[in-house]
């Protein structure tokens, strides 16, 4: 159940889990979470904690957001920010 409207926000990102770096594509974003597509989705489980490095639209800086994986599909996962 979502409390915030998601907005398309296509961006290439990196994210961290268990001291490992991964690459992915951010597809959409809200105040409460995001959807990330990644080729390594099978390495994650629901409730895993990840840290996303999300670029500002200007591309000049990134913001880091921690989140909990809430669901997975064949191409990515949904994260709720914590």
Determine what percent of the chain is predicted with pLDDT higher than 70: 95
For residue 18, what pLDDT is reported? 94
Residues 67, 65: Cα–Cα separation, whole Å: 6
Closest of 66, 51, 62, 64 to residue 21, by C-alpha: 51
pTM of the prediction? 0.88
Task: State yes or no: pLDDT of 2 exceeds 70.
Answer: no
For residue 61, what pLDDT is reported? 87
């Amino acid at each position: 159940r979502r409390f915030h409207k998601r907005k398309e926000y296509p961006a290439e990102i990196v994210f961290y889990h268990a001291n490992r770096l991964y690459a992915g594509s951010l597809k959409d974003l809200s105040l409460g979470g995001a959807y990330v597509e990644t080729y390594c989705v099978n390495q994650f489980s629901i409730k895993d904690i990840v840290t996303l490095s999300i670029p500002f639209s200007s591309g000049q800086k990134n913001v880091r957001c921690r989140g909990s994986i809430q669901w997975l599909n064949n191409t990515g996962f949904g994260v709720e920010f914590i």
